[in-house]
């Protein structure tokens, strides 16, 4: 007699070992049809597995988080079979599930997206056949024998322990796999190949070049449609497209990976920094600036010459070797060392909008998201041991303040000591403990990435979430146990002894260029009033009214409202259309009536018009809306 306990604590009893499917069928046939896999005592299994002792069981249905992963894993097998059916000599390697779908690395001649329809058709054929996934367990020797023609699989099998090896079979297709899998291929409803790229076996450039085929899959065609819609929306918002169309920035062959900012882009840039300075002053930061080019000796002392040299630009001046800074910290060290500090001066919060250059791989460049020259909104905080917690907490609060101003959510990740690292266990414990206590005090959940810290200290990464739900790592708070040592920094304690300060590096925007790009996509180019490069456009109805329009413009400029007059001899309709497609939040049309009465006609982006607004009734609310950095709309919506 086998007793199965279900999540609602009901117990089903069976005379003989039932399979998961048997248990599901005992609930209802419809339910059984929807089940994907099962969780027995905390481990996932196929529904076909026989349960031979009492157990508590939870069925995995498409509603559960684990289900999608299983589905996609099965979909990867379907893709692998399809490719093997179509391309004779294709050798399968690995095919994991990734965040948005799955991929399979296959040793085969290059294919292109033109081949996708044929592969998809073959996949759909396999899906239609509702092939059952069967788990087969064999010995290591047998597995090696079965995959004797596939060196990749053999390599994988060799690395597995001596225990038995599980394989999965669907029809005539067998693949090495831990599982679990769907009951059958028919459950994969929304299936699509996404892209193709090269990848190396074991991510090693010296090894075989493989074809990586990406796909995604859902339980429901609708979900696939929704996903494709989001992808398309993201494509439409692509900051490279939107930024070019709005005239914010450009890139040129003469300086790959180094953006040029145009006047309208600089408006946004300056507003971002203005806001940043305001918040940092209020949070007790001072601002500093260090040179872009520094002597090689400094980089040797900081350790960058040893650890980061391949990313640094260098130059020889008067027979001396210089490096263009890839980070601001060494310069910051010199600044600190210029003064002499007592414990009363700490914490010292020194901000710096530093322009750094990093020679990134040419293939890694991507719009403003990955560049070779960028500005960091850096700050170095020097403090005593017992200030760690409060200082970290202060940074986290500042981060929250600033991100929420843009309507960006975020989550936190703590990275701990990596294998290759400097410092003592005690130092690491103390540093990591300080970060942990600050996070706990802060009160939000955080993820822990064991061993993912920098070699010189643990860190907290802050990942923002944009309007499309995509996440980006922007902010980071890193404790540095190396530089104060290398530069022999000190402060005088209350005990009149020299002490080594603790130092953190932190950024909030991260790379201002990248943050800019993220904002373009987050707002889809429709910046809130306070950020909009042109806040108001003034449209005279005819040429004769251009003079009055300019006068109105001057009045707004006096109030520091960014505005332009469009006095082209175009129709009003045309000028409105152009203003709308430039996402200018407020449009003032100037006709005879406005000139006579000295009022304004205000049109917002949603097409609503308010006539007869007095000048002051326009400027006052607009100015306060801007000053308060209101995220949504305008005072005239």
Partner RNA sequence: GCCGGCGUAACUCAGUUGGUAGAGUAGCUGAUUCGUAAUCAGCAAGUCAGCGGUUCGACUCCGCUCGUCGGCUCCA
**Positions marked catalytic:** 329, 358, 376, 378, 380, 459, 505
Residue (141 or 543) nearer to RNA, CB: 543
Phi (first) and psi of residue 167, to 5 degrees:
-125, 160
d(CA 578, CA 80): 50
Exactly one of 82, 272, 396, 507 binds RNA (CB under 7 A); that residue is: 507
Q: What is the DSSP letter of 239?
A: H
Q: Is 363 in the site for RNA (CB under 7 A)?
A: yes
Between vectors from CA 585 to CA 581 and to CA 589, what angle results, nearest 5°? 85
Q: How far is the CB of 347 from RNA (least distance, A)?
A: 22
Q: Is 205 in the site for RNA (CB under 7 A)?
A: yes
How many angstroms separate the Cα of 209 from the Cα of each of 1, 174, 200, 201? Answer: 54, 23, 5, 6
Q: Is 360 in the site for RNA (CB under 7 A)?
A: yes
Whether 345 and 387 have beta carbons less than 8 Å apart is answered as no
Q: Is 385 in the site for RNA (CB under 7 A)?
A: no
Binding mask 112-131 for RNA (x = CB under 7 A): x-------------------
Exactly one of 118, 282, 364, 557 binds RNA (CB under 7 A); that residue is: 364
Q: How far is the CB of 583 from RNA (least distance, A)?
A: 9
* Selection from 63, 132, 71, 56 nearest residue 101 by Cα: 71
d(CA 560, CA 627): 11
Q: Is 573 in the site for RNA (CB under 7 A)?
A: yes
Q: Is 379 in the site for RNA (CB under 7 A)?
A: no
Site for RNA in 244-273 (CB under 7 A): 244-245, 251, 253, 256-257
Stretch binding RNA (CB under 7 A), from 20-28, 47-55, 195-203, 492-500: 195-203
Residue (494 or 609) nearer to RNA, CB: 609
Exactly one of 395, 474, 531, 534 binds RNA (CB under 7 A); that residue is: 474
CB atoms under 10 Å from CB of 81, counted, come to 23
Whether 487 and 301 have beta carbons less than 8 Å apart is answered as yes
Q: Is 321 in the site for RNA (CB under 7 A)?
A: no
Q: Is 362 in the site for RNA (CB under 7 A)?
A: yes
Contacts of 320 (CB under 8 A, 6+ apart): 295, 296
Residue (488 or 543) nearer to RNA, CB: 543
Alpha helices, DSSP H only, in 211-361?
221-237, 239-245, 263-282, 296-302, 304-307, 329-338
Whether 351 and 377 have beta carbons less than 8 Å apart is answered as yes
Stretch binding RNA (CB under 7 A), from 64-72, 283-291, 577-585, 621-629: 577-585
Alpha helices, DSSP H only, in 29-135?
29-34, 65-86, 116-128
Residue (466 or 594) nearer to RNA, CB: 594
Tokens representing 265? 């882009």
Site for RNA in 83-112 (CB under 7 A): 110, 112
Contact set with RNA (CB under 7 A):
110, 112, 195-200, 203, 205, 209, 212, 240, 244-245, 251, 253, 256-257, 358, 360-367, 370-372, 374, 376, 461, 473-474, 476, 507, 510-511, 513-514, 541-544, 568-574, 576-577, 580-581, 587, 589, 591-594, 601, 603, 605, 607, 609, 611
């Amino acid at each position: 007699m086998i007793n199965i306990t279900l999540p609602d604590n009901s117990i089903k009893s069976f005379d003989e070992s039932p399979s998961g499917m048997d248990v599901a069928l005992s609930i209802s046939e419809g339910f059984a049809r929807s089940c994907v896999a099962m969780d027995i005592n905390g481990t996932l299994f196929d529904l076909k597995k026989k349960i031979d002792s009492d157990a508590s069981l939870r069925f995995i249905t498409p509603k559960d988080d684990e289900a999608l992963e299983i589905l996609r894993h099965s979909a990867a097998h379907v893709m692998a079979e399809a490719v093997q059916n179509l391309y004779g000599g294709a050798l399968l390697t690995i095919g994991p599930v990734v965040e948005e779908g799955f991929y399979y690395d296959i040793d085969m001649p290059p294919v292109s997206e033109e081949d996708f329809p044929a592969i998809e058709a073959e996949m759909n054929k396999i899906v239609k056949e509702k092939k059952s996934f069967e788990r087969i367990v064999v010995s290591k020797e047998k597995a090696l024998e079965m995959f004797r023609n596939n060196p990749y699989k053999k390599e994988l099998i060799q690395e597995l322990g001596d225990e038995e090896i599980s394989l999965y079979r669907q029809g005539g297709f067998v693949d090495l796999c831990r599982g679990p899998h769907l009951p059958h291929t028919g459950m994969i409803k929304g299936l699509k190949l996404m892209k193709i790229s090269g990848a190396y076996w074991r991510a090693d450039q010296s090894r075989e070049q493989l074809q990586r085929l990406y796909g995604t899959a859902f339980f429901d065609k609708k979900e696939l449609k929704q996903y494709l819609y989001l992808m398309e929306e993201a494509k439409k918002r692509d900051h490279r497209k939107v930024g070019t169309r709005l005239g914010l920035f450009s890139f040129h062959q003469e300086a790959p990976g180094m953006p040029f900012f145009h006047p309208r882009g600089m408006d946004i840039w300056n507003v971002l920094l203005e806001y940043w300075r305001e918040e940092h002053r209020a949070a007790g930061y001072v601002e500093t600036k260090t040179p872009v080019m520094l002597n090689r000796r400094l980089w040797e002392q900081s350790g960058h010459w040893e650890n980061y040299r391949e990313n640094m630009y260098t130059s020889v001046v008067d027979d001396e070797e210089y490096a263009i800074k890839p980070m601001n910290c060494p310069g910051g060290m010199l600044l600190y060392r210029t003064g002499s500090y007592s414990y009363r001066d700490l914490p010292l919060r020194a901000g710096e909008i530093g322009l750094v250059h990093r020679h990134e791989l040419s293939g890694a460049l991507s719009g403003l998201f990955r560049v070779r020259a960028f500005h960091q909104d850096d700050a170095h905080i020097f403090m005593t041991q017992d200030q760690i917690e409060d200082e970290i907490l202060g940074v986290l609060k500042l981060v929250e303040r600033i991100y929420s101003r843009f309507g960006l959510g975020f989550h936190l990740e703590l990275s701990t000591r990596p294998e290759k690292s400097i410092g003592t266990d005690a130092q690491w414990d103390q540093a990591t403990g300080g970060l942990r206590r600050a996070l706990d005090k802060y009160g939000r959940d955080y993820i822990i990435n064991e061993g993912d810290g920098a070699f010189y200290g643990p860190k907290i990464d802050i990942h923002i979430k944009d309007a499309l739900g995509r996440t980006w790592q922007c902010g980071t708070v890193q404790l540095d146990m190396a530089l104060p040592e290398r530069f022999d920094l000190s402060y005088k304690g209350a005990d009149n002894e020299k002490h080594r300060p603790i130092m953190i590096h932190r950024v909030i925007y991260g790379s201002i260029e990248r943050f800019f790009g993220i904002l373009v996509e987050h707002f889809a180019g429709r910046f809130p009033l306070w950020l909009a490069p042109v806040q108001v456009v003034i449209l005279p109805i005819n040429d004769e009214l251009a003079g009055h329009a300019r006068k109105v413009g001057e009045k707004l400029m006096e109030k520091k409202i960014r505005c332009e007059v469009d006095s082209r001899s175009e129709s009003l309709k045309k000028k409105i259309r152009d203003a709308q497609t430039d996402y200018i939040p407020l449009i003032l049309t100037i006709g005879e009536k406005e000139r006579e009465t000295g009022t304004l006609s205000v049109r917002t982006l949603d097409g609503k018009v308010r006539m007869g607004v007095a000048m002051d009734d326009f400027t006052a609310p607009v100015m306060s809306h801007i000053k308060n950095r209101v995220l949504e709309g305008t005072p005239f919506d």
